[in-house]
Amino acid sequence: MKVLVTGATGFVGGRIIGRLRKAGFDLRIASRLPQRLAGADDAVALPGADAPEEAFLALMRDVTHVVHCAALNNDRGAGEADLRAVNATLTGRLAQAAAARAEGRFIYLSSIRAVVGPGFSGTIDEATPPAPQCGYGRSKREGEIAMLEAFAAAGREGATALRLPAVHGEGMKGNLRGLMRLAATGLPLPTSALTAVRSLISNDAVAAAVTHLLTRPMPPRPAYVPGDAAPVAMSEIIAAFRRGYGRPARLVAMPAWPFRLLATLAGRQASWQALLATQICDPSLLASEGWTPEPDTLGRLEALARQAAQAR
């Protein structure tokens, strides 16, 4: 069986490729940055969202399954039109071609932002009603819909979205990388601003989930919400990073109101609310089907900081 993996040069896509190779799959890898694929076997350029249908059908030659990791993330300042073109339109075009030519599964790496905004507090599972609050989240939700509609129109099963929380691992980006950099400074930090609890997921666990869904005999559900085994507090994340850097935690008991006032004066109330939001992903559905969540999130984060310190 051959698996087409898009976003092959990305942080998560690269880890998925390694896992699938170990599992014995043949691969075709595609990227919007084909220059990074030089020398790789069966490596192709990923067509743009406006490419002709033939370009997408050609990608599916001899392909059984598709794992769609390519995306425009919300940390690049992209406009909503660009987000929709890459995350929604491109996903729909790929799903249409896969439904027509690839007999297996289509796994779309989506995000919890497809269902909740950054300021949401609560538990997220497959039954959480989608209510995206940002351009990135709307584009990922539109990608999910386009994928499912393409398979339904072809009378097919096998399409699913993995709604991921923040992903940790070597090369991670976004807020987690920012927190690790903040931890590296050793500055004292107020515990009042670090009370939120979050679910994270390791890139290894994502790769294991993809492999599991490709090899499980039963067809997948339309969506899954994976996550590490236990959510962690923001203060625990900082402390784990600082242990890796060989620093004390330096978390100081201070009232929250000065920081809330500064956020208000700077027009960053939404960012403040997002910092305080508790977002817990319930991975029990996927776990009940045989996937194993990452059991040691804090140990993984500590090891990442240790690697970063040794690389200096």
| pLDDT tens, position by position, 222-278 | 999 999 999 999 999 999 999 999 999 998 887 766 666 666 666 766 666 777 889
Amino acid at 16: I
**79-87: long-range contacts, CB 8 A cutoff, minimum separation 24:** 79/135, 80/135, 80/138, 80/139, 83/135, 83/136, 83/138, 83/139, 84/135, 84/138, 84/139, 84/142, 85/49, 85/50, 86/32, 86/49, 86/139, 87/136, 87/139, 87/140, 87/142, 87/143
Q: What is the DSSP string of 268-303?
A: -HHHHHHHH--EEE--HHHHHTT----S-HHHHHHH
Q: With 90 as the cut, is the pLDDT of residue 195 above it?
A: no
Q: What was the pLDDT predicted at 116?
A: 97
Q: Answer for the pair 78, 72: CB distance below 8 angstroms, yes or no.
A: yes
Q: What predicted TM-score, i.e. pTM, was given to this entire model?
A: 0.93
User: pLDDT for 275-294, tens place per residue?
Assistant: 788 999 999 999 999 999 99
**Those residues with Cβ within 8 angstroms of residue 256's Cβ, 6 or more apart along the chain or in another chain:** 190, 192, 193
Three-state SS for 200? strand
Sheet with strand 197-198: strands edge to edge: 122-124, 279-281, 197-198, 232-233
Q: What was the pLDDT predicted at 59?
A: 94
Rounded CA-CA distance 132/134 in Å is 6
Rounded CA-CA distance 282/229 in Å is 9
Q: What was the pLDDT predicted at 1?
A: 86
DSSP state of 105: -
Show the tokens assigned to 157.
Answer: 């099963």
From residue 38, alpha-carbon distances to 9, 45, 69, 102, 184 in Å are 11, 11, 19, 26, 35
Backbone torsion region of residue 246, taken as left when φ is above 0, otherwise alpha when ψ lies between -120 and 50, otherwise beta = left
- Work out the average pLDDT over 4-25: 92
